[in-house]
Amino acid sequence: MRLVLLGPPGAGKGTQAQKLVAKWGIAQLSTGDMLRAAVAEGSPLGLEAKAIMDRGELVPDRLVIDLIDARLDGADAANGFILDGFPRTVAQAEALDALLEAKQMRLDAVVELVVDEAMLLKRVENRIRETLQAGNSVRADDNAEVLKTRLDAYRKQTAPVSAYYAGKGALKQVDGMAPIGDVEAALHAALTS
């Protein structure tokens, strides 16, 4: 199973990706996680990405395309993968098409988690509370001010990606406002129908 999971910040992409990893034995390829790991390591990529991520803007396409290129045919993705947070621009979606073609792979599904933006701040606030309760550090971009920029980037740069896949007849939509277990069931139904 090779899948793209789309949706705005806080839509539940990471939550659902982890459930699919457990269920299908496939890899979660999250560009956000890869970039945060690079920032934590202090690698040249991390140094280039950190300030951009902290502002809530998108990092340059070439950085994330290279990250994904290196991971699509990794050993952990032998059974398939979930692209979580990639592609986030139409240029990234076009680059993904080219990478998949070169690797003789194809996507099985593109699913968008559809959510009401007004709820996203509450979800991010919940995540901050849970992170602090667990004794972990809160993401630098998880606050009300930066969330506005992240949502703005989503509307301007990522919403057209849904239209890109819809135009190819490849987009499925799932209600991301339902309880987590119901979203999981709807996603399963969308992937197996």
Query: What residues are labeled active site?
Result: 13, 88, 127, 139, 150
20, 161, 183, 186: which one binds ligand AP5 (CB under 6 A): 183
Any contact of residue 58 with ligand AP5 (CB under 6 A)? yes
List alpha helices for 59-103, DSSP H: 61-71, 90-102
Stretch near ligand AP5 under the rule CB under 6 A, chosen from 94-102, 104-112, 174-182, 185-193: 174-182
80 belongs to the binding site for ligand AP5 (CB under 6 A): no
CA distance 62 to 54: 19
CB of 193 to ligand AP5, least distance (A): 20
Q: How far is CA 44 from its chain centroid?
A: 22
For ligand AP5, how many residues bind (rule: CB under 6 A)?
32
Which residue, 30 or 109, is less far from ligand AP5 as judged by CB? 30
Q: How many CB atoms lie within 10 A of CB 52?
A: 15
Binding mask 11-50 for ligand AP5 (x = CB under 6 A): xxxxx---------------xx--x---------------
The whole-angstrom separation of Cα 101 and Cα 62 is 18
Compute the least distance from the CB of residue 161 to ligand AP5, in Å: 10
Q: Which of 2, 4, 39, 86 lies at the binding interface for ligand AP5 (CB under 6 A)?
A: 86
Q: How many residues does the chain have?
A: 193
Burial of 126 by CB count in 10 Å (0-12 exposed, 13-18 middle, 19+ buried)?
exposed
Between 15 and 143, name the residue whose CB sits nearer to ligand AP5.
15
First-to-last alpha carbon distance for the chain, in angstroms, is: 13
If one asks whether residue 111 binds ligand AP5 (CB under 6 A), the answer comes out as no
Two tokens at 160? 């057209």
Q: In which residue are the tokens 């692209």 written?
A: 83
